[in-house]
Chains A and B, each alone.
Chain A
Amino acid sequence: MSVSSSRAASARLVQEKLCNLLFNNQQKCVTVKRNFGSTYLPQTNSFMKIYQGTSKFGSFINGIKQSQASSTSIPQHSRDYSSVHTQQPAGPIREYKIDPYMLLEDELKYIFEDIRQELHQGTNQKELIQIAEYYFDGQGKALRPMVTLLMGKAINYHMYRENNPRTVDAQRKIAMIAEMIHSASLIHDDVIDQSFSRRGKPSVNVLWNHKKVTQAGDYVLAIASIMLSRLKHDEVTLMLSAVLNDLVQGEFMQLGAKETENERFSHYFTKTYRKTASLIANACKGSATIAGADAPIVETAFLYGKNLGLAFQFVDDLLDFVSSSETMGKPAAADLKLGLATAPVLFACEKYPELNPMIMRRFKEPGDVEKAFELVHKSQGLEQTRFLARKHCLEAIKLANKLAESPYQKGLTDIMDLVLNRMK
């Protein structure tokens, strides 16, 4: 009872926040090239009726109307809405930006709270809960639940121009499950890679017995699987179960790659899809499927998630070379030390063929890591990787633009700034 009521309250909060956001934003714009009120306000009167018919969106629209009315008398400042998460905006300067973290702040907070609650429901073993919820501290980027929620809401708006509470709840569950699958894989990755720290704190394998850590990862998966089954949707269950397979196969691909130079890139792409993009893509697809979207929309959602996931991982691989360990929360050049040849190295290899033998021996010989690191910086590898990431970002934006305009749909395009320009 209390949970559902707090949820409703949070939904209201988000809408109020959104209105305030738009309101303030408009006040601050110097040149209003495009009246953003019209972006969200229905163009025709018939849409207007739909809006006013539903109480939640009624208040939402009224808020905007009021903001429009009052904005005329208030002097406007020259300051765009900015956020701590972005370095600088990519692409053309727009009049306003949606920061998805602001848009979904309360919901994201509840997502972690709810995940922890689910984990507590399954056992009375304190240490198991401790390990299992270690990475659900809300300190991560929460990219997966955020994208899943945005996609869900954008699709709901696209299809129905409103949010059906039952659909929204199922989509929240999918967002939670996506984050849980992700965390379970982090827990297992930490054991595999013998990592030292993650998100600025010691990683699980440093703090607990590896056998227990492994079991805790299995536990998180089991709880996620139970939640998934409670959605009672065969297709969605299949999609997200297939992600588990992709994740493991991606890990296997990383183990000992001995492919030729030509195959390397396609190997790297497939691996990146399986390890990162598959989860995001399928979570978006699930979110669309459970809303009852038709096949083209479901496909759009899937491809959006796939492109975003690929771009995200390319940037991740790039940051491994440029970011200091303090910002990343994990050691720099970690991939090289693990023997992995990511996009920057593969690009650099075209200019410096001496990297080839190093890739083949997985940077095992003394000095390999340092030499490769240096060559990557001397080559165009980093720029080329960023270009590749940008290409997938633009593709994702193109896909997002197929959906009807709404704050959430706008969030789907604006999130690309965060993906491309993030520092960690």
Chain B
Amino acid sequence: MSLSRLYATKELLKKITFLNASRAITSASILSSNAPKPIQKHDFNRAVSEAEKIVGYPTSFLSLRWLLSDEIANVALHLRKLVGSNHPLLKTAKNLIYDGKSNMQAWGLIVLLISKAAGQSNDLLELEQDKSAGVLHSQRALAEITEMIRTSHLIHQGMVNLQTLKKSGNELASDSELIFGNKIALLGGDYLLGNACLQLAGLRNQELIELISSAVRDLAESNFIGDRDDENVALPSDPKCKIHIEDESPLEHFESTKDIDMSLILGHPEREWSFRHTLASGSLLGKSCQGTLKLAGQSEELQRHGYSFGKHLALAWQASMDLEPFRMQELPYNTSFSLISAPVLFQLDHDPSLYEEIKKGRKSVEEINYRKIHEAVLSGPGIEQTKELQRKHGQAAMDVLNEFPNCDARTALQNIIMAMQCL
């Protein structure tokens, strides 16, 4: 079994490239008119660090709290044993620690910003008005919980599938590095998830617990959608299985996927993309934004706006990241990109014959010629369509923001959306 592909925790790698690119970008595109105090350069990092000041303290401290716990110190000790092995957990851990600032933390930051932008309801008891920098302590806790859930999910995703090992079973040498790596990854993820549950319970808001738990459910579910290779890397659906339907627009809102007919989703590029990524990221950010407004005692309607904002922002974000590999005219060797990214799905819809290449990856995506797909996407309409998709979700998030009163937090969020658009 080839282990070389295990190196790549693609999700995270993608983000590093995304960030590095964002640092370099100094775009001169036209500023949107609804931003009252826009920053001149659409530098993503600057938008983030300006935003951090607004909500009181750099959100990167969020992660420090759980990094300082005994259990994690324990995990760190065990991690040292893995150094030199090929387990992807090392990469996940490295990214969590060194690249923590703008990636992982950004979600917590957004929850804090939307909390401040919406403010707190006057109906909230005086006792509960325990806040700093315009954000309730319970809202800060929620931002942290959101980060923990997301991190836990990334760690669990970064495991290795050892099912295919012939030696599977108890007789397996228990000191095998991969098994040990999986053990630590699984427990580390569980630790964060368990801690998130406990902190969530501590907020004593049962509706919020239900909401966030359903986001955890969606995250887990996202790993089952569509075809997958042996490492559970998602493969796009056959464009030929697309059924003609009147309304091609993506599902706006769903409580649970139980009654959703997958045949109306898989193979329809935008629907499939938005379904997959709503489960994998939109749901958590949307529900956290909704939840923080719930904590502030805001109306049901505003809470729904919160969900909509978070979901669209996450999708706009995803679309920006999807575009990243296609900014290069030629794909470097040994690099890969998400096969379920919007440009690939659009290209498959445009030219279903490309699916023949995808099919080669049913056993392992390593068999796929990524350069070939990259070339095909560059020559097709996929990139333009993805940019359109990105703008659409960015605008949808902007529209929600316009419902909020004008304040520095709102401006910061607008800046982040715009910086994203210009990435």
Contact = CB atoms under 8 A, between A and B. Distances in A.
19 contacts: A122-B256, A123-B221, A124-B259, A128-B224, A192-B187, A205-B168, A206-B168, A210-B160, A211-B157, A214-B186, A219-B221, A225-B216, A226-B213, A234-B204, A241-B198, A249-B191, A251-B187, A252-B191, A255-B74
B338 interface: no
Given A125-B224, A225-B216, A247-B190, 9 more contacts: A122-B221, A128-B220, A191-B182, A210-B161, A211-B223, A212-B224, A229-B210, A248-B194, A364-B175
A127 interface: yes
B187 A225 contact: no
A121 B254 CA distance: 13
A178 B223 CA distance: 25
A331 B163 contact: no
B174 A123 contact: no
A228 B259 CA distance: 23
A209 interface: yes
B193 A244 contact: yes
Interface stretch (A72-80, A297-305, A332-340): A332-340
A238 interface: yes
A234 B206 CA distance: 7
Interface residues of B, number: 58
Contact of A121 (B162, B193, B204, B256): B256
A116 to B, nearest CB: 13
A245 to B, nearest CB: 5
A256 B81 CA distance: 12
A122 B258 contact: yes
B214 interface: yes
Given A209-B163, A244-B193, A337-B170, A123 B257 contact: yes
Contacts of B174: 194, 337-339, 364
B220 A215 contact: yes
A131 to B, nearest CB: 9
B220 A222 contact: yes
A27 to B, nearest CB: 49
Contacts of A232: 206
Given A120-B258, A214-B156, A247-B194, A127 B224 contact: yes
A331 B170 contact: yes
A194 B195 contact: no
A218 B216 contact: yes
- B183, B190, B193, B207 interface centre (most CB from chain A within 10 Å): B190
Interface string A181-215: 00000001001111110000000011011111011
A98 B230 CA distance: 50
B186 A242 contact: no
Interface string B166-209: 00111010110001001100110111011101101110101101
Interface of B: 71, 74, 78, 153, 156-157, 159-163, 168-170, 172, 174-175, 179, 182-183, 186-187, 189-191, 193-195, 197-198, 200-202, 204, 206-207, 209-210, 213-214, 216-217, 219-221, 223-225, 228, 230-232, 256-260, 262
Contacts of A393: none
A404 B7 CA distance: 61
Given A209-B230, A251-B187, A256-B78, A218 B220 contact: yes
Contacts of B258: 120-124
Most central of A205, A215, A232, A334 by chain B CB within 10 Å? A215
A161 B207 CA distance: 33
A338 B183 CA distance: 13
Given A123-B258, A237-B209, A191 B232 contact: no
B213 A225 contact: yes
A25 to B, nearest CB: 44
Given A194-B169, A206-B163, A209-B163, A128 B221 contact: yes
Contacts of A193: 170
The 9 closest A-B pairs by CB, nearest first: A244-B194, A222-B217, A225-B213, A229-B209, A219-B220, A241-B201, A229-B210, A196-B169, A222-B216
B256 A215 contact: no
A221 interface: yes
A216 interface: yes
A141 interface: no
A335 to B, nearest CB: 11
Contacts of A194: 162, 168-170, 172, 174, 179
B231 A211 contact: yes
B226 to A, nearest CB: 10
A218 B219 contact: yes
A215 B209 contact: no
Contacts of B232: 209, 211-212
Interface in A330-350: 331, 334, 337-339
Contacts of B198: 238, 241-242, 244-245
Nearest to A125: B224
Given A123-B221, A194-B169, A237 B206 contact: yes
Interface string A404-417: 00000000000000
A210 B209 contact: no
Given A122-B258, A247-B194, A334-B170, A226 B210 contact: yes
A128 B218 CA distance: 12
Nearest to A338: B174
Interface string A109-127: 0000000000011111101
Contacts of B228: 209
B209 A228 contact: yes
Nearest to A194: B172
B170 A196 contact: yes
A122 B222 CA distance: 12
B287 to A, nearest CB: 12
Contacts of B213: 222-223, 225-226, 229
A230 interface: yes
Nearest to B184: A255
A248 B228 CA distance: 29
